[in-house]
Chain A
Amino acid sequence: MSGFWSRARHHTGFLIGATLVGVVTLAALVSVFWTPHPYDDLRMALKLKPPDGSWLLGTDHRGRDVLSRIMVGAQTSITVGLIAVSIGMTVGVCLGAWAAARRGWLDELVSRFNDLLFAFPAVLMAILITSVFGASATNAILAIGIFNIPVFARVTRGAALTMWGRDFVRAASALGLGPLTITLRHVLPNVASILLVQATIQFATAILAEAGLSYLGLGAQPPVPSWGRMLYDAQTYLYDAPGLAIWPGLAIAITVLGLNMLGDGLRDLFDPRLRLMRVG
């Protein structure tokens, strides 16, 4: 691990990525206890104020502080992204590891299931879910989570299959260990780094998807601020307050860029030969 950190200190991409993600996470954490102004205070007299000393990024069409809303919006993005990726990872890793351990018809079934999910982009999935169950952050999480399942299932299956061909796994099998024990003791620990890298990249994709869904009104509902919805509202005031359309987008771009750079950096540091899946 000390080797990892000494290499990490010289990897520019990793450092930039980690810093960007660190800043956004810090903003989200701080906003739990403190924001420059209450994020949902309506002050119509102060609406569409340009940035100044006390309103660093100005106010929106309802006189709410944009900076405070962006900080709280970071909480929404990170929460939705984290839970969605965890759902996708838990189910996907189980399916992928199971398919690799048992092969045969089960493997075929998991592959077909993956193909099916891949045919539905996250937005279509979300549309299906929200049109029946209504728009909410929970349903957005569910949609993004379901979309993440095949990504993790494929990556896990591919990496686990390689492990199953290795001598130490064969030896464990010859010793009479069952597929579950081998998977838990030998296969999964050896594919963990690949999964961590993939999770970072999927986190970035999930944040983009959440922004898209909340832009369409299918994500977190008011009064909870979300970056995507802030952009939707800003569009009405493009002529009067163009800044409103810039800050939330910049927040999304910084977070996603940070996570992507962090993911690429982790991949380089763990194993430069790893290949990632990028699907959105």
Chain B
Amino acid sequence: MSLLHFVVLAPFIMAIFMPFFYYKFRSVHTGWFLLPLPLILFIYIATYIPINGGGLEPVEHTVPWVPSLGINFSVYLDGLSLLFGLLITGIGTLVVLYSIFYIKNKVDEPLNNFYVYLLMFMGAMLGVVFSDNLIVLYVFWELTSLSSALLIAYWFHKEKSRYGAQKSMLITVSGGFAMLAGFSLLYVIAGSTFSIREIIAQADVVVQDPLILPAMLLILLGAFTKSAQFPFHIWLPDAMEAPTPVSAYLHSATMVKAGIYLVARMTPVFGLTVEWFWIVLIFGLVTLTWGSISAVRQTDLKGILAFSTVSQLGLIMSLLGMGSAALHFDYVETEAIYYTAIMAAVFHLINHATFKGALFMVVGIIDHETGTRDVRKLGGLMAIMPITFTVSLIGLAAMAGLPPFNGFLSKELFFTASLNVASLDIFNLETLGFFIPVVAWIASVFTFVYSMMIFTRTFTGEFKPENYKEDVHEAPIGLLISPIILASLVIIFGLFPNILAYTLIEPTMQSILPGLTSVGEQFYVNIYHWHGINTELLMTIAVVLIGLAIALNLKKWQESYFFQRERDPLNAVYDLGLDQLVVQAQNVTNMQMTGRLRDYLLYMAVFISGIMLWTFFRYDAFAIDFSNELAVPFYVILVVAALLASTLALPFISHRITNIVLLGVVGFLIALLFVIFRAPDLALTQLLVETVMVVLFLLTYRHLPEITKEAKNIWSTSMKAIVSAAVGGAVILTGLSVHALNQGTDITPISDYFIENSKTLAGGYNMVNVILVDFRGLDTLLEVLVLAIAALGVVTLIKHKMKEGEDV
């Protein structure tokens, strides 16, 4: 275990102590106890930043977990995981600080739950970005989905919270399952290894495999659901029911970027295929456009930000798609054309976390102070909340892509990358490439429009006190600290972007595009504002002009049909699917679950005899050999005859007590057979079980109706006769064939092993018991568990009877 392992595990360990802090120090806000942890982790991870600009030496530590299956808890720190680790802990610190002031320490506020979930998320997310093993990554990945759902449903008394939590859970977890399947395929393709390092090392071979396409699609499904890419983005707007610190943390800065992380992590492998380029690029662009257009028609501030996040995630995704083309070229320092996209993606990832985090916190403040997030009610807050206003102005300007903020720089780089990629001469880009900059430009216009919309409708206009339940004033300083820090970062990164260049961006590019530069060589990263008058600048100017024109005329458009549909139309598909899932599942269940015991027995009998007979036919295993049978003693024949007689008599007796007694006779005769064949343990068990069973039968007897003559149905009667005959036939055939097979071959029976070893290995002479408690102890344990569950089921069914019309 290295320190890096503890970085991942620390939040989980801390989570154990949260309830203690909550109950012991009830008057102190629980968040204060938690606050130091992400800060310390942030500082620790920050020590890995290469400050002298010499590149980052990756660190790897491995702890075996299930080595026989290739599953090891390996932590791996390179540029990409360093960047994400800093984001998770850095934004985490600010969010925890913010949440201390946002969620009040009321008597019935379950703060312990909140912080346990938050810590669980933090640990899981760190686990995702630091794991080198795909299975470990998957486990942490699902944990982030789980903790996200728990946090969305934190105010679970609200119906919408529960709906949003369920939706996010269903969508992200089903994507996660697909991803697990993809990982398994990758394991097969890459020759039994789950290590990302090793898979990347043999990427050239891996992409030749015919299974690479399904593996890629499945893994992308996981990434796209997590990162809210079209058409899976519908869960993100509904996730906004979570408390705002959660929205700022999970649903804009970190968790939704897990998909981005995975795509970036997998680029060295899948980026070598054409499909990857087109799929990631097109999904990214569609999401970018759809998100920005949908954002314009929202009326809830958090709704706007949610769709804006969707759109920005699409932007980063499309940049990663474009950037994968760089893997097809050799690195030349002067030709930044190929890798600009990756640089832009990494840079925008950082920028988005800063400005969107600030904006979410600001919206939280507005919600907190005014009691509403509806832009139709808000207005004129500029004078009342000056600090909040300043922070949001910075954030909005960065989001809209205006200089001198960091958003402008990454937006310019995005335009450059899209222009570059359109001019490449691979992948049919010479014919299809032109649409990429066009789409990018259109989406940017809408991004500008919704940024303007938040600005004008919240801060300008007329302040109407009658719209608010509370007395509106500036937020307390505690709430403002975190957004102010983030806004300062927006400005700092905007003015001095190159402090990030060789500390974070270049190492990250190295991990997304490994092997492009020779050893010791570095990508050339230099981000600056003024490039002269070029296409990108003209595009930005056009965005601003047209965006302004649209934003100023937005009032007129709001009457149109398009703006009346606030909810995403894709939600209808999801809702219908969910309803139908329940209905169809019920139909399928009702088809087989008739509620009649005889039907279930029929299923079992048909299945068992069917599979047995099929196996016999398949392997041509019929062998009947009477040649050297043993002489059967007379008393055995007598016992068997009695057994047969009592069994055959059963169907013809219509009196229940007689039936029960007769069944008991059958059981005792079988016990006698066990005695004859020298199986004392079996005989004892059989006798005791029979005794207990007869008592049970007699007890239930009074609940059963008289046996009535049923109307004879020739079909069902002959059906039952056939099935009974088949079961009997299959059993006899198996017995005879096994007997015949035993004669001619020298297969040693499995019992020999137990006979030899039960004394030496387990210290017991009674083989049956030794098998039960030692050799097959787990079987026994689980059988007993089944017994216990069955007994509890009986108790529940009898003691808690359902009333009329009640359902489970």
Q: Does A associate with B in a complex?
A: no
